[in-house]
Structure 1
């Protein structure tokens, strides 16, 4: 089951990254865009890491605070989910 979760997150992250790149390309050419709703949906459905990396890499939607904060939070959630799915022990982190 853990492999399925990790595979899903990777798949959705690649898709989200590509969607950010595609939308940036279309924005430059003034073509038909990927809707913000669809970008959010991809990020929420598991692609938060790819959406955040795509935002940074393509310098796309970086002026929108909601995207910056939201995609970062989603990326953090999915990274934690991967860490837990892999069974990585985080007990060495001392939060006091």
Structure 2
């Protein structure tokens, strides 16, 4: 049951991250107030990295901003490391 809740929560946060990139791109094109980069990165940090990458690619948004890309890549790298440690730690657990 806990695994299902975790998967559902991750799906929702990734959908939200994806949508944020679409909304921010639309706002950028129309001169409206933007979603702060810190908010986009925080959404990735709390589990929305896949959605962030998908939104970046789909909306071609923030792809040329090197500082943003480096931060997003660092978040993904840290998350991959944490996932590797958790998988190694709990791989043999019943």
TM range (shorter): 0.7 to 0.9
Structure with bigger helix share is 2
1:18 aligns with 2:14: no
Give the superposed CA RMSD. 2.3
TM-score between the two structures when normalised by the length of structure 1: 0.71
Q: How many residues align?
A: 83
Moved more, 23-32 or 59-68: 59-68
Instruction: Report the counterpart of residue 50 of structure 2 in structure 1.
Output: 49
Task: Between the two structures, name the one with larger relative contact order (CA 8 Å, sep ≥ 6).
Answer: 1
Written as runs of structure 1 = structure 2, the 5 A alignment for 1:16-95 is 16-72=17-73, 74=75, 77=79
Q: Which runs of 5+ in 2 are unaligned?
A: 88-94
Moved over 4 A (4+): 72-76
Q: Does the Cα contact within 8 Å between 2:37 and 2:68 map onto a contact in 1? A: no
Q: Which runs of 5+ in 1 are unaligned?
A: 85-96
C-alpha change, 1:3 and 1:69, in structure 2 (3 Å) is farther
